[in-house]
């Protein structure tokens, strides 16, 4: 059974700081997704990582994938309040977009 | 495109009643997914369809849950009879099955079973 674990589950940080969210998974997969969810809202796709060593950046967010370590990271640079949300990673179990989600990391960025 | 459209946005019902949730995927997408989100269990995949055919329903909790996709533009998730433990947000998502296209999620249906 595929398990996807994120840490930390809760993260409170100040604006301007850098931090990293980690996503570990238990079964071989080369497809990993990052989503953002604002309170009471739907999930918004951030990144799709398709191969070992893949790195994608959008604004202050950068995601990377190490399939050998079964690890993905989401790095936040110089955080701003607007990035406050819950971030989920998800692993494609069978290459059919049958995604298994992590528990989510609730990020709060304080002014 | 209007995105994935779900209805209703909110549903409050009494235990034992039948509940039907509806989803219209993005035009041209050939895969459709139903997820459930709760605080305790997070996001769980209930069932997914490819080209209107159910591919994997192993996540459907029990026989009280059923899902259909009669055509490429419509799907339903039915709970009969509903129970308080079914209270959750139910999301529908769609995608085009290709080179790992990302899933697009609807706004969700907040279901409360009293």
pLDDT at residue B101, rounded to an integer: 72
pLDDT at residue B77, rounded to an integer: 98
Q: How confident is the model at residue A83 (pLDDT cuts 50, 70, 90)?
A: very high
pLDDT at residue A26, rounded to an integer: 92
Closest CA–CA distance from residue A78 to any residue of chain B (Å): 27
Query: Within an 8 Å CB–CB cutoff, is residue A41 touching chain B?
Result: yes
Instruction: For residue B5, give the chain A residue with the closest CA.
Output: A42
Q: Cβ separation of A41 and B104 shorter than 8 Å? A: no
Q: How far is the C-alpha of A91 from the C-alpha of A65, rounded, in Å? A: 11
Best B3, B10, B25, B42 residue to mutate vs chain A (most A CBs within 10 Å): B42
Angle at A35 between CA A31 and CA A40, to 5 degrees: 150
pLDDT at residue B98, rounded to an integer: 61
* Gyration radius (Cα) of chain B, Å: 13
Contacts of A90 in chain B (CB under 8 A): 43
Instruction: For residue A86, give the chain B residue with the closest CA.
Output: B42
pLDDT at residue B100, rounded to an integer: 57
| C-alpha distances out from residue A23 to A20, A71, A75, B58, B90, Å | 10, 6, 11, 24, 24
Query: Within an 8 Å CB–CB cutoff, is residue A3 touching chain B?
Result: no
Instruction: For residue A34, give the chain B residue with the closest CA.
Output: B102
Which comes out higher in pLDDT, residue A101 or B101? A101
Which H, E and C letters describe chain A, residue by residue? Answer: CCCEEEECCEEEEECCCCEEEEEEECCCCCCEEEEEECCCCCEEEEEEECCCCCEEEECCEEEEEECCCCEEEEEECCCCHHHCEEEEEEEECCCCCCEEECCCEEEEEEC
Asked if pLDDT for residue B1 goes beyond 70, the answer is: no
Q: Tell me the average pLDDT of chain B.
A: 93
| C-alpha distances out from residue B51 to A96, B28, B71, B94, B97, Å | 13, 10, 9, 11, 10
pLDDT at residue B62, rounded to an integer: 85
Asked if pLDDT for residue A8 goes beyond 70, the answer is: yes
- Give the model confidence (pLDDT) of B53-104 as tens digits: 999 898 998 899 999 999 999 999 999 999 999 999 999 999 987 655 788 9
Q: Cβ separation of A99 and B42 shorter than 8 Å? A: no
Asked if pLDDT for residue A81 goes beyond 90, the answer is: yes
Looking at chain A, the whole-number percentage of residues with pLDDT higher than 90 is 78
Instruction: For residue B48, give the chain A residue with the closest CA.
Output: A98
Contacts of A43 in chain B (CB under 8 A): 91, 93, 105
Q: How confident is the model at residue B49 (pLDDT cuts 50, 70, 90)?
A: very high
Q: Cβ separation of B105 and A98 shorter than 8 Å? A: no
User: Any bridge partners for residue B75, and if so which?
Assistant: B23
Closest CA–CA distance from residue B96 to any residue of chain A (Å): 10
For residue B6, with 0-12 CB atoms within 10 Å meaning exposed, 13-18 middle and 19 or more buried, which class applies?
Answer: buried
- Give the model confidence (pLDDT) of A14-57 as tens digits: 999 999 999 999 988 778 999 999 998 999 999 999 888 889 99
Residue A83 sits at φ, ψ, to 5 deg, of -85, -5
Q: Cβ separation of A101 and B56 shorter than 8 Å? A: no
């Amino acid at each position: 059974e595929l398990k996807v674990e994120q840490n930390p589950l809760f993260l409170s940080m100040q604006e301007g700081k850098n931090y990293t969210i980690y996503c570990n998974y238990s079964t071989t997969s080369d497809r990993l997704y990052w989503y953002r969810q604002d309170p009471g809202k739907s999930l918004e796709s951030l990144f799709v990582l398709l191969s070992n060593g893949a790195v994608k950046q959008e604004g202050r967010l950068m995601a990377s994938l190490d399939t050998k370590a079964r690890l993905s990271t989401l790095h936040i640079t110089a955080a701003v309040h607007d990035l406050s949300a819950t971030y989920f990673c998800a692993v494609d179990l069978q290459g059919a977009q049958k995604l298994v989600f992590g528990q989510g990391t609730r990020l709060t960025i304080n002014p | 495109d209007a995105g994935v459209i779900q209805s209703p946005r909110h549903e409050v019902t009494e235990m034992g009643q039948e509940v039907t949730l509806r989803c219209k995927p993005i035009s041209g997408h050939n895969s459709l997914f139903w997820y459930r989100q709760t605080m305790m269990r997070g996001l769980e995949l209930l069932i997914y369809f490819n080209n209107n055919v159910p591919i994997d329903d192993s996540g459907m909790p029990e026989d009280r849950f059923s899902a259909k996709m009669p055509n490429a533009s419509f799907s339903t998730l039915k709970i009969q009879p509903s129970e308080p433990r079914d209270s959750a947000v139910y999301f529908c998502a769609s995608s085009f099955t290709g080179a790992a296209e990302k899933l697009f999620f609807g706004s969700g249906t907040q279901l409360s079973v009293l």
